[in-house]
Amino acid sequence: DAKTTQPPSMDCAEGRAANLPCNHSTISGNEYVYWYRQIHSQGPQYIIHGLKNNETNEMASLIITEDRKSSTLILPHATLRDTAVYYCIVTQSQGGSEKLVFGKGTKLTVNP
């Protein structure tokens, strides 16, 4: 099971900011939060990651709370092409080996 909790779905109007929340209350001090997204019937695409400071790149911003138990991915001006499933991921150790675990994510629908 994933170490993160996300709402199953969200809607956003085109041109508005999309704020996607994620809870990761059991995150360890040296674990990063990663965000990927998957457009229908394609492979996931890396968006952004962070440890404790807020991060921004050309795709999105990542806001991580001071206690690191939750974060928010922000798409500042959502377009119809941003409709996708967004995965918030914290790596997991299993059998001594770390791995990425993709949960069910949040299905974001951007409406015209």
Partner 1 sequence: DGGITQSPKYLFRKEGQNVTLSCEQNLNHDAMYWYRQDPGQGLRLIYYSQIVNDFQKGDIAEGYSVSREKKESFPLTVTSAQKNPTAFYLCASSIERTAWGGYTFGSGTRLTVV
Which parts of this chain interact with partner 1 (CB under 8 A)? 2, 32, 34, 36, 41-46, 48-49, 87, 89, 91, 97-105
Of 111, 103, 67, 68, nearest in space to 86 by CA: 103
Shortest separation between residue 14's beta carbon and partner 1, angstroms: 25
Minimum CB separation of residue 74 from partner 1 in Å reads 18
| Residue nearer to partner 1 on the CB measure, 7 or 15 | 7
Q: Which is nearer to partner 1, 40 or 112 (CB)?
A: 40
How remote is the C-alpha of 27 from its chain's centroid? 14
Separation between Cα atoms, residue 79 and residue 64, nearest integer Å? 24
Contact between residue 39 and residue 84 where contact means Cβ atoms under 8 Å apart:
yes
